[in-house]
Structure 1
Amino acid sequence: MTISACALEIAGRVETFVRETIIPYETDTRRDHHGAPLDALVYEMRGHARAAGVLTPHILPDGSHLTQRETAVVLIKSGLSPLGPLACNTMAPDEGNMYLLGHVGSADLKARFLAPMIDGSARSAFFMTEPAEEGGAGSDPSMMKTTCRLDGNHWVIDGRKTFITGAQGAKVGIIMAKAEEGACMFLIELPDPAIRIDHVPNTIDSSMPGGHATLTIDNLRVPADQMLGVAGEGFKYAQIRLSPARLSHCMRWLGSCIRAHEIATDYANRRTAFGKTLIDHEGVGFMLAENMIDLKQCELMIDWCAGVLDTGSLGTVESSMAKVAVSEALMRIADRCVQVMGGTGVTDKTIVEQVFREVRAFRIYDGPTEVHKWSLAKKIKRDWKTKHGG
C-alpha cells in the first residue's frame, strides 16, 4: 500500500506549521512546576493549528482515519518539536484514546466524549497503571486492584491509580477497573469530586501537560451507559489501544530525534576545535553518521509495523518489536546529539537535552524494553513447542 497524495500533503502542512509557528513557542515560559506546558499554552497553540488546518490531522473531516502508514508520515512531522504533537492534537494519551473510542465507542459515547477530543477542546487521561508499592497493576494489568460493581443503573468504582498522564486538567477519562466479569472500561467527565489527585511528581520528562498523577478513586458512580463496550472485555480493548499507541510514540519521538540530529549537525558544522570544524573530527563525524543509520532504521521499522496494523491485525508482537528497537535506537541518537554538542548539549539552550530526557522516559512507558523482550521470548518458546510438538 502506498502513501496517498492526501497524506503527504497533510504531512507537508504539518511540518511547515511546526517549524514556522510552533518552534518559536519552545522558549515560552508558561510551564508548570515540572516544566510541562500549561493548558493556556496548549490551547493557544491549538488555536493556531485549527486556523492552519492541521488540528488532529490524522483524523479526516468525515471522521475516517488515515492508515497507520499514512499516520506515521504525519505524526513524525508533528514531532519535530516537543510541542508539535500538543499543538496538532496528536499527543499521548489523547491520540491513543481517540483511536480506542473511534474503534469501540458507541455513537452516543463518540458524540459526548470523542467529539471534543477531536476538535481539540478537551484533553483526556487513561487510568490503568496502579501503585506498585500497593501491589497494583503496572506492566502486568492482570494485577489490577481497582474494582467496579454494579449498583442499580450505575457502576461504583474504587481504587488507586498512578502515573496517570494528563489527569490534572483533563476533561475526559477512560478508567479500567475489575468486575466479577473481568476487566471493564468506563468513560467519565473530569474533574469529578470522587477522584482525588494525591500527588504529581517531578519526572525526567516534561512534554505532557498535567504530568503523571497518583490519585484515589473513592465511590465514583458512573452511569451504566458510560461503560465502553461490554463488561469483561477491558483487556481486549486495551490491546486495541496499546499496539498502535506504542507505535505512535515511536513516530512522534522519531520526529524529535530528527530535529535533535539537525541541531547537532548544525553545531558540528559551525563549531571549530583543534584547527578544524567538529564534523571533520572522525569521532564526531562518525557519531552523526551512526545517527543517520539509526534514523533510517527507525523509519523502516515504524513503516513495517504500521503496515502490519493496516492489515487489521492487532500487531502486538510487531508493536513490541518496534517499541524496543525504536526506543533503544532513539536513545542512542539523542545521546550522541548531546555528546556532539558537549556542554551546550546539556543546557536548555536547545531542545536536545529535553529530547534526551523524553526518550529516556519513553524506554519505560507503554511497556519497558525488558517486558517486551520477555513477551517476545515467550512467543519464541510457544512457536518452538508448536513446531517440535513439545
Structure 2
Amino acid sequence: MSLTRPPAEFAALIAELRAFVDDEIIPCEDLRTAHDGEVVQRTAGALRLRAAARGLGAPRGAPADGGLGLSWEECCAFLEQAGRSFLGPATLQCAPPGQPDIAALERLASPAQRARYLAPLLRGTQRSCFAMTEPAPGAGSDPRMLRTTARRVDGGWVLDGHKWFISGALRADFAIVVARTEAGPSWFLVDKGTPGFEVLRDVPTMEPFDIGGHAEIVLRGCRVGAEALVGEEGQGLEHAQLRLEGARLFHCMRFIGLASRAMEIAQRYATTRESHGARLSEHQMVQAMVADAHIELYAARLMTLDVARRLDAGESIRHHSSMAKVFVSEAVYRVADSAVQICGALGISEDVPVSMILRMLRAFRIYDGASEVHRAAIAKRALRHGLAA
C-alpha cells in the first residue's frame, strides 16, 4: 500500500472531491460551447480558483507548492473522480500534457530549468506542450523515425522540423521539443515566441472540451541556448518513455471516471424509459450491457491500481503500463458505446454528454501509442524474455 495519509482522511478528501465535481464542475459544462477553446479555458480557470480555495488540485504536486502530494495509488481514486467531468482534470491541475511534463521535468530538469519552467507549471501560471509527433515520413507511433534536427552552434542549438497533433500547443507558454542531434534524439525547451518557432494552426479533432488544441508547428532556424537541452543529449527516447509511463496511467484513471459517468447516465435513462410494455432496465439485453460495463470497469480499476502500486514501489512499469493502456482504453470505449446504445437516439444527440464522452474515449486508443503498437511491444518482450502470462 502506498498511502500518504490515514484511510479515513483520504476517504473524506475523495468524498469532498466527488461533491465538488458533481455540484460545481459538472453544472458548468455547456455542451453548446464544447468546441470553443476560449470559453472552456475561462470556465476551467474560474473553477480552478474555487478548487484551490477548497484545497483541491494538483494531486501529484508537492504540498509546499500548493499540491496534495498524493501517491500514484491514491491518484487512482482522485483522478477517477476528477475525470468524471470534461472540465475536471483542467480544473484540478491533473490534465495532459502538463501533468506528464511536470513528472518528466521533476526528474530531468536542471536547477535553472526547474526555476524557469517547472516552478510556473507547478503553480499553474504557465502551460507546456510536448512536441514529438511529426507528419509522414516523420515520427508517429515509431519515434525512431524522428526527422526534426538540432544542430549545435556557438552558444546553443538551431532546431529545424515540422510537428503536428501537438496537444496543448495553442495555449502553451513553452514546448518540450524532441529533435535529433549527432548523439541521437534529445529534448529541448523552447519558449513560445522564439524566432523560428511558428504555430501554423489547430488541427480539428473529434474531442470536446479541449483547451489547448492539437497544433501543427514548424521550426525554421529556431535558435535556443545551450541551457535549453533537457537531461542527457541522445537520451530523448528514454526520456519520452519515462514521461509516457505516468501519462498512460493518468489517462487510464481519468477515463475510467468518464466512462463510469456515461454508464450512470444510461442506467438512469433505462430505469425511466419504457419500450415494448416494460422499462428498458427490465430487458435482459440492456441488463447484459450494464453488467458487462460494471465488470469491465472493475477490471480496469484493478489493473490501473496494480500498475500505480508498482510505480510507487519504484519498479519499471513499461510492460505493465502497456498492458493496462491497451485494456483500459478499449474497455472504457466499450462501456461508453453501450451507454450510447442504451440511450438510443438520445445517446447520439448532444442533449446529454454521452456521445461526447464516446468521442473523447475513442481517441484514447491512439493517445500515447496505438493499441496495435502496444500489443506488438508486449508480445516481443514476452517472447524475448520468456515472460510468464
TM bucket (normalised to shorter chain) is over 0.9
Displacement after TM superposition at 1:181 (Å): 1.1
Aligned partner (choices 77, 80, 100) of residue 81 of structure 2: 77
Q: Would the alpha carbon gap of residues 227 and 235 (structure 1) be closer, same or farther in structure 2, given more than 3 Å must change?
A: same
Mapped partners of 2:306, 2:39: distance in 1: 33
Q: Which moved more, 1:258-267 or 1:65-74?
A: 65-74
Is 1:110 matched with 2:114?
yes
Aligned pairs for 1:82-97 (under 5 A) are 82-97=86-101
Write out aligned runs for 1:96-245 (5 A): 96-132=100-136, 135-245=137-247
Q: SS of the counterpart of 1:279?
A: helix
Please state how far the C-alpha of 1:32 moved relative to its aligned partner. Answer: 4.5
**Larger displacement relative to structure 2 (223-232 or 369-378):** 223-232
Distance in structure 2 (CA, Å) of the matches to 1:60 and 1:82: 25
Sort the Cα spacing of 1:347 and 1:32 in 2 relative to 1 into closer, same or farther, 3 A: closer
1:199 Cα deviation from its structure 2 partner: 2.7
1:28 to 1:355, Cα distance in 2 relative to 1, 3 A: closer
1:321-375 deviation line (CA, Å, top 9, x unaligned): 0000101111110000000000110111222111100111111111010000010
Cα deviation for residue 57 of structure 1 reads 2.6
CA contact under 8 A between 1:156 and 1:222: conserved in structure 2?
Answer: yes
Aligned residue type for 1:131: P
Look up the match of 2:273.
271
Residue 263 of structure 1, CA deviation: 0.8
The answer as to 2:295 corresponding to 1:258 is no
1:12 aligns with 2:15: yes
Asked whether the 8 Å contact 2:307–2:317 carries over to 1, the reply is yes
> In the TM superposition, what is the alpha-carbon distance from 1:60 to its structure 2 partner?
3.1
Q: Which moved more, 1:260-269 or 1:55-64?
A: 55-64
Question: Helix, strand or coil for the counterpart of 2:219?
Answer: strand
Relative distance call for 1:37 and 1:103 in structure 2 (3 A) is farther
Counterpart of 2:245 in 1: which secondary structure?
Answer: helix
- Name the CA shift for 1:12/1:117 in 2 (closer, same or farther; >3 Å): farther
TM superposition shift of 1:223: 1.5
Structure 1 residues 53 and 30 mapped into 2: Cα distance closer, same or farther (>3 Å)?
farther
Distance in structure 2 (CA, Å) of the matches to 1:48 and 1:357: 28
- State how far apart, in whole Å, the 2-side matches of 1:245 and 1:150 are: 31
Q: CA deviation at 1:29?
A: 5.0
> What TM-score, normalized by structure 1, do the two folds share?
0.93
Cα deviations across residues 141-169 of structure 1 (Å, max 9, x unaligned)?
Answer: 11100010221222111100011001011
1:76 is matched by which residue type in structure 2?
E
Is 2:2–2:309's contact at 8 Å kept on the other side of the alignment? no
Normalising by structure 2, what TM-score?
0.93
Does the CA-based 8 Å contact 2:31-2:350 persist in structure 1?
no
- C-alpha change, 1:10 and 1:371, in structure 2 (3 Å) is same
Q: What is the identity, as a one-letter code, of the residue corresponding to 1:10?
A: L
> Partners in 2 of 1:140 and 1:306 — Cα distance?
26
Higher deviation after alignment, 189-198 or 337-346: 189-198
Structure 2 gaps, min length 5: none
Are 2:70 and 1:66 aligned? yes
Q: Tell whether the 8 Å contact from 1:324 to 1:369 is kept in structure 2 after alignment.
A: yes
Say what the alpha-carbon RMSD is for the aligned residues: 1.9
**Residues 166, 2 of structure 1: alpha-carbon distance in 2 compared, 3 angstrom cutoff:** closer
- Equivalent residues of 2:40, 2:209 under 8 A apart: no
Alpha-carbon offset, residue 36 of structure 1: 8.0
Distance in 2 between residues matched to 1:9 and 1:233, nearest whole Å: 42
User: Which residue number in structure 2 is paired with residue 383 of structure 1?
Assistant: 385
Q: Aligned equivalents of 1:91 and 1:208: distance in 2?
A: 10
- Per-residue CA deviation, residues 75-95 of structure 1 (Å, 9 max, x unaligned), is 111101111001111111111
Check 1:221–1:13 CA distance in 2 against 1; reply closer, same or farther (3 A cut): farther
The Cα offsets for residues 303-328 of structure 1, whole Å up to 9 and x where unpaired, read as 01111212212311111000001011
Q: Take 1:82 and 1:361, find their aligned partners in 2: how far apart are those partners?
A: 14
